[in-house]
Structure 1
Amino acid sequence: MTSYLSIEHVHKTFGEGPSATEVLRDVDLHVDRGEFISIIGHSGCGKSTVLNIVAGLLETSTGAVILDGKEVSKPGPDRSVVFQNHSLLPWLTVRDNVALAVDKTFKGTKSAAERREWILQTLEMVGMGHALDKRPDEISGGMKQRVGIARALAMEPKVLLMDEPFGALDALTRAHLQDEVMRIQSDLGNTVLMVTHDVDEAVLLSDRIVMMTNGPAATIGEILEIDLPKPRERLAMADNPQYNHYRAEVLRFLHERHKNPEAEAA
């Protein structure tokens, strides 16, 4: 059966000649519709490069990305990105920041009234319906990131791409937003590809964790399937032996790469 999202033998090299740097080597990954995949690894392992290639922001050197039967060659509304920085326009209100994406994506297919209703619905989904007319400097960091997630979801993408979306937040806000993302993904059945440095976050949210070898010339070292029922309760997971086993497996992989950067080449 054909995968919904296929990253097929992707290589990526920056530069040319003697100064060329091979960032990715033969990255091959197949994702089913509705899966939540986390990509984890040490800094410089090409995690964000993989995400940017799927987003269409970078071209492959060789290999291809296929989404729902079509090759990805440029950015498009079928893939929306949530960055670590919320990337909201400071002069626009919460409502208008989301409207910018909705109007660009659905003008011609949804009426103005339908677009207004959809904007309100997505902001309510992330708990920001109370702040429609506030500007980014009037709300907290966690609220800004909620708006960023709402803007991405409002495009109704086939794949939601998240690049360390909670990395800049304090621990309590991060935990709250992780729970919100779990709830939303459960409700909508989104296909999600997320880059993270956080082992607990990866185990809590994911169906599979893709562990990258060290760069340069990074590739997929191991893929860990997380066989835990959803929805997952954070407190219950803390004492769950299976959860702790998965956590230990990811930590083992990362520790081996930190202790011996050439382990994958051995």
Structure 2
Amino acid sequence: MSKHYLAIEGVSKTFGTGHKASCVLKDVNLNIEKGEYISIIGHSGCGKSTVLNIVAGLLPSSKGAVILDGKEVNAPGPDRSVVFQNHSLLPWLTVYENVALAVNKTFRKTKTAAQRHEWILRSLEMVHMSHALDKRPAEISGGMKQRVGIARALAMEPKVLLLDEPFGALDALTRAHLQDEVMKIQSEINSTIIMITHDVDEAVLLSDRIVMMTNGPEATIGEVLEIDLPKPRNRIELADDPKYNRYRREVLRFLYEKQRKVEPLSAARKAEASPVARKAAQA
């Protein structure tokens, strides 16, 4: 049995069978401790979201296992909440009702109606959405919708919060505000968080460790970078911090030197690259 809070042990994932089989992930191993903030970064198609979906129990692994707090993960459960890039709120329910849906389902046997009500209000207060309890998703901004999605996920009191590019669809200013909110919430309730991101600055700002994935197919963990910066972190102060900038450079070097994406050649470029074309050009 794993001694770590969350253990991803030898996880591989293959889609399809026979000659159509495609191995997306191969032998992914990662141990995560309670209260850690882990970012997974890599180029498109490297299996980041596949890892997240396997931990969430939304997708079975082909090999290996995920162990959370001593129990194997083999299905979705309230101990793992997911926040997607798309807020996924139910449009016909109010802000309060969207969060209530998760709270009532998770705690109907363990909390009274009054306790559940108080917890819904507290969860929305954490993301500064108390003023919009009776609004429907169509009546609030994209950033507000994502705040409600985060409140709903946190309201389930999950052992692990899974964030799949949660700020990717937001403008830069809204994204910065939400990143700050997540940092603050994590420091208050000591959540264990795994976040998928394409944003290097976001990964360095928020994470305790950054997991860098190799390119697919057969993607795996290439490097893991420890982020030794004191918390709480201030993005303005970090802009000139040599340590912060060294971490940025290390991630960028991995992504754009060690794991540089090679774009397929066009027909014209292939013709230019052929030995015959080179000889003709030299004549």
Find out whether 1:45 has 2:46 as its counterpart: yes
Find out whether 1:223 has 2:220 as its counterpart: no
Q: TM-score, normalised by structure 1?
A: 0.97
Larger radius of gyration: 2
Tell me the distance in 2 between the aligned counterparts of 1:179 and 1:108.
34
Deviant stretches of 4+, over 6 Å? none
Aligned partner of 1:255 in structure 2 is 256
Tell me the distance in 2 between the aligned counterparts of 1:39 and 1:101.
26
One-letter amino acid of the structure 2 residue matched with residue 207 of structure 1: D
Tell me the distance in 2 between the aligned counterparts of 1:96 and 1:133.
8
Aligned partner of 2:200 in structure 1 is 199
One-letter amino acid of the structure 2 residue matched with residue 70 of structure 1: K
Q: Secondary structure at the match of 1:48?
A: helix
Alignment of 1:1-266 (within 5 A): 2-256=3-257, 257-258=259-260
Deviation at 1:259, TM superposition (A): 5.2
Identity across the alignment (%) = 77
Per-residue CA deviations over 1:44-66 (Å, capped at 9, x if unaligned) read 00000000000000001010000
Q: Secondary structure at the match of 1:58?
A: coil
One-letter amino acid of the structure 2 residue matched with residue 121 of structure 1: R
Q: TM-score, normalised by structure 2?
A: 0.91
Give the paired residue count: 261
Q: Secondary structure at the match of 2:145?
A: helix
Deviation at 1:233, TM superposition (A): 0.3
| Coordinate RMSD, CA, aligned | 0.9
Q: Extract unaligned runs of 5+ from structure 1.
A: 262-266
Deviation at 1:2, TM superposition (A): 1.2
Deviation at 1:258, TM superposition (A): 1.6
One-letter amino acid of the structure 2 residue matched with residue 57 of structure 1: L
Q: Secondary structure at the match of 1:258?
A: coil
One-letter amino acid of the structure 1 residue matched with residue 58 of structure 2: L
Q: Secondary structure at the match of 1:255?
A: helix
One-letter amino acid of the structure 2 residue matched with residue 258 of structure 1: R
Q: Secondary structure at the match of 2:117?
A: helix
